[in-house]
Amino acid sequence: MTAVDLAFLLNAAIAVYSGWRVFRTDSMVRASFLLLISFLAVGAIMLLLGAVYLGVAIFFMMAVEMMIMALFMVMFMMNPAGLNPMNMVHQERISAAAGVLAFVALGAVAVFGEFPSRPKPEGLDVVARLGHELLGDSMLVFESAGVTLLATMIGVVVMSSRRGRYGDANEGSVPPGLEPGGEPAGQPPDDDDEEHGCH
Amino acid sequence: MSLITILVLAAALIGIGLYGALSQQSFVMLMMGLELMLNGTMLAAVGFWAYTAAGVPEGQLLTIIVMAVMAIEMAMGFALVVAVYRGKQADVTEALEGFRH
């Protein structure tokens, strides 16, 4: 077993274990950092495979993305600091069966499938070739991804803005009750606090 | 390290992600399951590029597209979570009956 194999096994174990722990930890912030660890291990495996640009890009992208995710986790966290046991799942058996089934089916394809063996040649200048491809033959694909991201940014701003063109985005909406059919839970954040303001 | 081990690892990540995406009640945790599935997809794409594509750069291009999909999924997901929370004060899937306001 070579050093590369050893590094791969180590990173694979980290990727799977931390990926599994994401759904087993009690704190949602910890979950996002565990997902970050899983991504970093996959990025390291990409480096081992020789995809230098992609591996490093995963490092940078995921570090930033998971920080944003951790912020959202704090905003939407049910269980601050993970002090209480948290198990917010539904249809768990079906989900677990679907996950195992997906693993077995895809693993069977990996083990029993016949793939051509054309490994990349030694000493290939991977990054330069990718750059020429991105800004050469595949420029349309690359630019389409860029334009799609721009459209996403506009859509995100529209969807998450508080005010729409015709007034407040949440006008007329009523939060669900704590019990089915009960009184609305909480107040919309921007309610006018007049004489009968609820607290 | 071979194509088979890479693909089995990718299958494991996709399986765990599928479990998370189907089982979690919180929107944000559900998105983490989707991210994990895309993680496995990217790894499989890079594995195929390294072992079966003789190093043609289009194989890496596919991974870059999946990365863009991941960023879009994340941004739109968070915008939807914020919009739903603003409208219904809800952050779990059970609280929704439909997409109407």
Number of H helices, E strands in chain B: 3, 0
The class (CATH top level) of B3-95 is mainly alpha
Mean pLDDT for B86-98 is 74
Q: Are A6 and A60 within one domain?
A: yes
Domain range enclosing A139: 125-163
Of A44, A62, A79, which residue is a domain's last? A79
A-chain residues near B66 (CB < 8 A) = none
Mean pLDDT for A36-59 is 94
CB contact under 8 A, A152 and B71: yes
- In order, the DSSP letters of B53-101 are STT-THHHHHHHHHHHHHHHHHHHHHHHHHHHHHHH---BGGG-S-S--
Distance of alpha carbon B25 from alpha carbon B92, whole angstroms: 5
Total structural domains within chain A: 2
CB contact under 8 A, A160 and B79: yes
Reported as a single tens digit per residue, the pLDDT across A106-137 is 999 999 999 988 888 888 888 999 999 999 99
- Reported ipTM: 0.91
Reported as a single tens digit per residue, the pLDDT across B28-68 is 888 999 999 999 999 999 999 999 988 888 889 999 999 99
Q: Are A63 and A129 within one domain?
A: no
Residue A23 within any structural domain of the chain: yes
Q: Token pair for residue A135? A: 């800004």
Residue A176 within any structural domain of the chain: no
Find tokens 């729409």 and name the residue: A164
Report CA Rg, chain A: 24
More confident residue, B1 or B22: B22
pTM over 0.95: no
> Chain B window 38-97: which residues touch A at a Cβ cutoff of 8 Å?
39, 42-43, 46-55, 57-58, 60-61, 63-65, 67-68, 70-72, 74-76, 78-83, 85-95
Residue A90 within any structural domain of the chain: no
Q: Are A72 and A4 within one domain?
A: yes
Q: Are A57 and A129 within one domain?
A: no
Supply the pLDDT for residue A188. 53
Q: Are A70 and A144 within one domain?
A: no
Residue A190 within any structural domain of the chain: no
